[in-house]
Structure 1
Amino acid sequence: MHVSAVDLFCGAGGLTKGLEQAGVSVEAGFDVDSDCRYPYEQNNDSEFVARDIGKLAREDPESVSEYLDDDADATLLAGCAPCQPFSPLTHGTDSSDHKKYGMLRAFLEIVRYVEPDFVVMENVYEIRHAEVYDEFIEGLDEFGYNLNPDSDKRVYCPEYDIPQTRRRWVVLGSRQGRIDLGSPIHASPEDYPSVRSCIDDLEPLGPGEKSAHDSLHSTRDLSETNVERVNHSEPGKSWETWPERLRLECHKKASGQTYQSVYGRMVPDEPAPTITTQFYNLGVGDSAITTPIKTERFRFVKVR
């Protein structure tokens, strides 16, 4: 079956890659960030289209149809709208005035005009509590899509062989009968992929070093103080294991005591915590034994 697809909010192309690996032909990826063009087109057999999707939905939503193959057996519209308004980092505050809150409405408007056979929407777990999400689901139902049940929308990434404790919410819409995600690959935590299982084949690197064999395997340079902090960090713990002289002033304040993931160290034989946009910064997320770095593509980096 030849399925022709377009990926909205495509970014560097993670969803496009997954769709291609599943046998779907992704004709184009749309995103407002033109810096994503290089990694998207280098890693996928698809065209990158630099467009503001909110503006596209208001002014020219039907143009997305031009990228779909008229001879395909079925068409698919996929999209991971920006998650910032729905992220748990909002701590439950009202984010309806966030500038990216309406992007899910833009996605629905494009679905209205394109009328694909299938719709795929993936986002953070917390999106299900947002009013705009309810509008999205009601719209798909109005357009005649069969949706997978809520019990099937919950995705815990390690169960699907992804070494990261990220939870996602996946909506599958179909005009041709309901489609479910199916059973997870791993039912037991004992079978979850770990950080070690994914990067242990990479050679150790010191601060600021690059691999002679893999251009994507490199580390950020670190000050002597930060190197010492890394050495004092214990797997699964954070700055609380450091000597007092290495702690930052913010850690000593009551308001800073809850930021345990900052300068955190991953546990090698467990899945990694959720990797955020700024994961390449030592002071933002979990690091140390597996210090990630941001390049054209994302990869963990193992340091000595």
Structure 2
Amino acid sequence: MNDLSALPKISAVDLFCGAGGLTHGLIRGGIAVRAGVDLDPACKYPFEANNAAKFIERDVNDLSAKDLLPYFPEEEISLLAGCAPCQPFSSYSQGDRGKKRGLDWQLVSSFGKLVETLQPTLVTMENVPQLAGHAVFKEFIASLAGYKVSWSIVECSKIGIPQTRRRLVLLASKLGRDKLFIPETLGPPLTVRQTIGKLPPIQAGQQHPKDPLHFASSLNEINLQRIKASKPGGTWRDWDPELLAECHRKDTGVTYPSVYGRMEWDAPAPTMTTQCFGYGNGRFGHPEQDRAISLREAAMIQTFPRKYKFVKKGEPVRFNALGRLIGNAVPVRLGEVIAKTLIAHVLASRAGTEASLDDYTDTLF
């Protein structure tokens, strides 16, 4: 086993930090996140309440390297991290960002410009897989001149995230000789049962008294009948004809079999979206309780800890606002895997030509 007694000190800034999923994962993996930047003021409380980092409410387009330098101590390795929202491919939406940006990919370009001027030691970007086919991704890679750059499409269910979520992960470094890659697999997939099976039962429209986020949206009578007729892993085709919605009767409706579906206990969940609290928005029905998953269950499937705080005590829980924060988050576990991969890389680069990145990765994981 390699000596891990002196782990490298890495300081990070998380661009487009949201509620803190990537930040929390980086911290759990051993990286000190000093600050997070996001345009959405709703992110401030969950980001700062759960992470020892400062929230900066700014548009990344308006940031300069000078703004970020105070968060990178000279004696520590610097990491610029983030998940730039991509409007054409993602449901990500923050305030009026979609109206302001349209389809111009300006946020990805701004991330690249910050890398060019700030020149951090390490860079990571997480995004939708479709970004790889767009010209702005090539431009982003061009901004990493002088770095060793690698990227891959990560199937999240293979690295400890209990959902079928595919993400592009880019890693870049000025250190060492080897390119960096996230491990392809880190054990058997986690299931819905393993993730949320121990939460107390609640009914549709009910909020658990000890956890305000364990709150399930209400169902009207027809949707209550529909979920009672739904089988885990099944589709609306299992229903009696009188329960079918008008869209199901059209030719276009047959291409959406997962809508109004239940999750399966012993399989990963589907990809969490900003509308994951709604039974009719996908396969977001609870495996056995007649309701959609709660906001807490959605957050746990995104690998946020069960005690992660999203709203101040006494404030109302709003489904749309919190669904957006949870669904748009980088899964915490993905951030942790990125952190450990980067730490393994730094350790291997320090150890010299005889060191293997795989040796350190195996030890850390």
Which range, TM-score by smaller chain?
0.7 to 0.9
Structure 1 residue 293: Cα displacement: 3.3
Residue in 1 that maps onto 2:142 = 138
Q: Distance in 2 between matches of 1:100 and 1:282?
A: 33
Greater relative CO, 1 or 2 (CA 8 Å, sep 6+)? 2
Assess if the C-alpha contact under 8 Å between 2:87 and 2:103 holds in 1: no
Assess if the C-alpha contact under 8 Å between 1:206 and 1:219 holds in 2: yes
In the superposition, the TM-score normalised over structure 2's length comes to 0.72
Q: Distance in 2 between matches of 1:101 and 1:127?
A: 10
Q: Distance in 2 between matches of 1:209 and 1:86?
A: 33
| 2:67 pairs with 1:63 | yes
RMSD (Å) for aligned C-alpha atoms = 2.2
Residue in 1 that maps onto 2:58 = 51
Structure 2 letter corresponding to 1:66: P
| 2:82 pairs with 1:79 | yes
Structure 1 letter corresponding to 2:112: L
Residue in 2 that maps onto 1:147 = 149
Residue in 2 that maps onto 1:260 = 257
Residue in 2 that maps onto 1:176 = 175
Assess if the C-alpha contact under 8 Å between 1:88 and 1:126 holds in 2: no
Distance verdict in 2 for CA 1:54–1:100, change over 3 Å: farther
Assess if the C-alpha contact under 8 Å between 2:195 and 2:300 holds in 1: no
Q: Distance in 1 between matches of 2:243 and 2:131?
A: 38
Assess if the C-alpha contact under 8 Å between 1:80 and 1:123 holds in 2: yes
| 2:132 pairs with 1:128 | yes
Percent identity over the alignment?
A: 41
Q: Distance in 1 between matches of 2:252 and 2:74?
A: 57
1:237-257 residue CA offsets vs partner (Å, 9 max, x unmatched): 222222221111111111222
1:1-304 paired onto structure 2 within 5 Å = 1-56=8-63, 60-72=64-76, 74-87=77-90, 98-99=102-103, 101-140=105-144, 142=145, 144-148=146-150, 150=151, 153-177=152-176, 178-186=178-186, 191-290=188-287, 291-294=292-295, 298-299=299-300
Assess if the C-alpha contact under 8 Å between 1:62 and 1:113 holds in 2: no
Q: Distance in 2 between matches of 1:83 and 1:239?
A: 31
Q: Distance in 2 between matches of 1:61 and 1:261?
A: 45
Q: Distance in 2 between matches of 1:101 and 1:283?
A: 31
Gaps of 5+ in 2: 1-7, 93-100, 302-365
Q: Distance in 2 between matches of 1:54 and 1:62?
A: 14
Assess if the C-alpha contact under 8 Å between 1:158 and 1:186 holds in 2: no
Count matched residues.
Answer: 281
Moved more, 43-52 or 232-241: 232-241
Residue in 2 that maps onto 1:92 = none
In the superposition, the TM-score normalised over structure 1's length comes to 0.86
